[in-house]
């Protein structure tokens, strides 16, 4: 398999697992058409509207703009809205994530909004090359970025393909140790469409594409997904999470109800689960 490093996979193209081969080799992969269009558009409107409101608010202040604070205000309102869960549960995203993570999937709280706005002076949520594993993302977690707007080689993201295969790269104060010569040419993602989904490994070296020639606005949302049946790192525990789907093995555990597997609930009556969990346990009558 020798795909171009700018390859974008459709859901259909992922049937023979070429997307997984690409991911293992390069450490990232881009998909198109995973969300239901109307659910994506609702989420997109919500996010861009929120940004335009906050932009005015922050722009009118004389004090220095805290870009990350503004972005986190957007993320938090999105996270607590129905638009975010509706978008993730729509279309094919979870089907693709199950290939990587198994059937029991959660999304962590504290998502990130990454915004590049050339018309907003002093505003930026750019990051120089780094590895997410340096700050507590476990190797069993996936970083998933959804592009809310288009992106190109001047405002997207850069990746060092294959750098995840070196393990946890040595770092000095959040920067790659200068003594390390990777000999990998970074690539900048290009021709990214609205709604494209980028998945990448927590050990890959990556960053924001920073260019003085960029004239275009770019907005993307970063999420972290994991199997909730895996052990959590301290960062993951402190973030907290929402469950998106549960597999059949987990359904059986839920019916039994207690971790001691004792028949407190199931003997002598109809076994059922709490009504508040029904949206997750959809293999039950």
The two most distant CA atoms of the chain are separated, in Å, by: 71
- Nearer Cβ to Fe ion (50/206): 206
SS3 state at 227: strand
- Judged by beta carbon, residue 73 or residue 132, the one nearer Fe ion is 132
Task: Report the half-sphere exposure of 264 (CA within 13 A, side-chain side).
Answer: 9
Smallest gap, in angstroms, from Cβ of residue 236 to Fe ion? 15
Which one, 83 or 160, has the nearer CB to Fe ion? 160
* Minimum distance of Fe ion from residue 143's CB (angstroms): 7
Residue count of the chain: 285
Report the residue number whose CB is nearest to Fe ion. Answer: 132
Does 223 bind Fe ion (CB under 5 A)? Our answer is no
Cα–Cα distance list, 230 to 225, 227, 236, 258, 269 (Å): 11, 6, 11, 18, 32
Number of shown-chain residues binding Fe ion (CB under 5 A): 1
Q: Which burial class, exposed, middle or buried, applies to 211 when counting CB atoms under 10 A from its CB (0-12, 13-18, 19+)?
A: middle
Both structure tokens of 55 = 């932009």
- Least Cβ distance, residue 57 to Fe ion (angstroms): 27
CB of 3 to Fe ion, least distance (A): 23
Q: How far is the CB of 224 from Fe ion (least distance, A)?
A: 10
* Residue 73: CB atoms within 10 Å: 18
By CB under 5 A, what part of segment 126-145 binds Fe ion? Answer: 132
Q: CA-to-CA distance for 235 and 244, rounded, in angstroms? A: 20
Instruction: Mark the segment that binds Fe ion (CB under 5 A) among 99-107, 116-124, 125-133, 177-185.
Output: 125-133
DSSP string, 80-119: TSHHHHHHHHSTTHHHHHHHHH-S-EEEES--EEEEE-TT
The nearer residue to Fe ion, 14 or 143, going by C-beta atoms, is: 143
Cβ at position 91, least distance to Fe ion in Å: 25
**How far is 110 from 221, CA to CA, in rounded Å?**
11
4 to 43: interface string for Fe ion, x by CB under 5 A: ----------------------------------------
Q: Which is nearer to Fe ion, 43 or 204 (CB)?
A: 204
DSSP string for residues in 144-191: EEEESS-B-TTTSEEE-TTGGGG-S--EETTEE-TT-------EE--S
Which CB sits closer to Fe ion, 53 or 168? 168
Least distance (Å) between residue 67 CB and Fe ion: 16
Interface map 177-216 toward Fe ion (x if CB under 5 A): ----------------------------------------
Which residues 237-276 are close enough to bind Fe ion by CB under 5 A?
none
Closest contact distance (angstroms) between CB of 186 and Fe ion is 14
87 vs 204, beta carbon nearer Fe ion? 204
Whose tokens are 């205000």? That residue is: 73
Contact set with Fe ion (CB under 5 A): 132
């Amino acid at each position: 398999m020798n795909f171009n490093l700018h390859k974008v996979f459709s859901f259909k193209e992922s049937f023979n697992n070429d997307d997984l081969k690409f991911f293992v080799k390069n450490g990232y992969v881009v998909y198109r058409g995973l969300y239901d269009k109307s659910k994506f558009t609702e989420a997109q409107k919500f996010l861009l509207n929120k940004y335009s409101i906050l932009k005015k608010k922050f722009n009118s202040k004389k004090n220095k703009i805290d870009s990350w604070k503004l972005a986190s205000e957007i993320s938090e309102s999105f996270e607590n809205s129905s638009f975010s869960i509706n978008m993730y549960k729509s279309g094919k995203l979870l089907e693709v994530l199950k290939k990587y993570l198994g059937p029991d999937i959660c999304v962590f709280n504290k998502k990130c909004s990454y915004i590049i706005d050339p018309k907003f002076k002093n505003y930026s949520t750019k990051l120089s090359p780094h590895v997410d594993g340096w700050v507590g993302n476990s190797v069993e977690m996936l970083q998933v970025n959804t592009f809310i707007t288009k992106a190109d080689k001047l405002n997207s993201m850069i990746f060092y393909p294959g750098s995840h295969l070196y393990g946890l790269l040595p770092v000095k104060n959040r920067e790659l140790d200068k003594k390390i010569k990777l000999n990998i040419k970074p690539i900048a993602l290009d021709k990214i469409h609205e709604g494209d989904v980028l998945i990448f490994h927590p050990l890959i070296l990556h960053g924001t594409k920073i260019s003085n020639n960029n004239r275009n606005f770019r907005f993307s949302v970063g999420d972290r997904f994991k199997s909730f049946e895996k052990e959590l790192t301290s960062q993951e525990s402190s973030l907290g999470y929402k469950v998106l789907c549960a597999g059949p093995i987990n359904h059986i555990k839920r019916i039994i109800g207690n971790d001691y597997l004792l028949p407190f609930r199931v003997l002598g009556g109809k076994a059922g689960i709490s009504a508040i969990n029904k949206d997750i346990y959809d293999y039950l009558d």
